[in-house]
Amino acid sequence: MRLFFGLQLSQQSSLSIDHWRTTSLPPLTHPVPLVNFHITLTFLGNLDQRRLGQLAEAADEIVSQPFMLTLDELGFWNKPGILWLGCKEASPILLTLTTKTKHSANQLGFATEKRSYQPHVTLARRCESPPPAPIIPSGFTQEFQNFALYESVSTRSRVRYNIINEWSLG
């Protein structure tokens, strides 16, 4: 199982971001379907299904609180060709939650990514170059009241992100 901890965007936020992407950016070759919009907290990689219980117990111990996050920065990672929507200023609560999910996974012996954390929603993959500046600036604010454990399921035609378990932030 390929797993990660993440934040689910509301349906309204996903629809608003998708509408903004469609009307403010040029057509994208490989847009991410809006049903897959999320913000990754900690990527866990491939894990044995028998360890799900341990991971859920560790997540049960994470204490946090709801927080607001504004997605207001368009970014591009050249090497993987990822176009993303992130935040100019990440919530301290979000950063602490990320640290806690990573620590919980590490305590169980799971290897997590070492690179610095950039909260974002992936808008498109396999982009050859960054698009021009958007016609309409981004600015989507949402309150997050839960975090989730997701499974990434790949098929021949697409990837789906399924929520396995969810925890309240307060």
Q: Which of 19, 30, 103, 120 is catalytic?
A: 120
Q: Report in angstroms the alpha-carbon separations of 95 from 89, 91, 100, 140, 159.
A: 11, 6, 9, 18, 27
Q: Which of 19, 30, 38, 103 is catalytic?
A: 38
Q: Report in angstroms the alpha-carbon separations of 163 from 4, 81, 86, 151, 167.
A: 10, 26, 22, 6, 11
19 is a catalytic site residue: no
111-139 as b/e, with b when 16 or more CB fall inside 10 Å?
ebeeeeeebbbbbbbebeeebeeeeeebe
120 is a catalytic site residue: yes
User: Catalytic residue positions?
Assistant: 38, 120
